[in-house]
Amino acid sequence: MKVVFLDRDGVINQFPGNGNYVTRCKNFHFLPGALDAIKELSGRGYELFVISNQAGVGKGLFTQKKLDQITHKMLRGVKQAGGKIRKVYYSTSRSDSGCEFRKP
């Protein structure tokens, strides 16, 4: 199995930066070329996984439900473009939590 792990913010979608988060669907925008790259990798037989820290949930800036809605929008866009993401994994813990599930 050929596998690719992708971060979300700044790799698939525009990263708001400066400690800001994508907190609503209307603020989620694919980066130019991201959908084409995902389609290409999918077409070449790679299994794609998204791994992302989403500490905004842990900070109470948005809810798990909102994160799920944003994720659904991302997956729908990828599918419509002809790509496939096999699974999405998030850590919603704050960076100061000491949680071992956060990606480095």
Active centre residues (catalytic): 7, 9
Let me know how many helices (H) and strands (E) the chain has, helices first.
Answer: 3, 3
**What does 52-100 look like in DSSP terms, one character per residue?**
EE-HHHHTTSS-HHHHHHHHHHHHHHHHHTT----EEEEE-S-TTS--T
Token pair of 80, please? 């419509």
3-state secondary structure of 46: strand
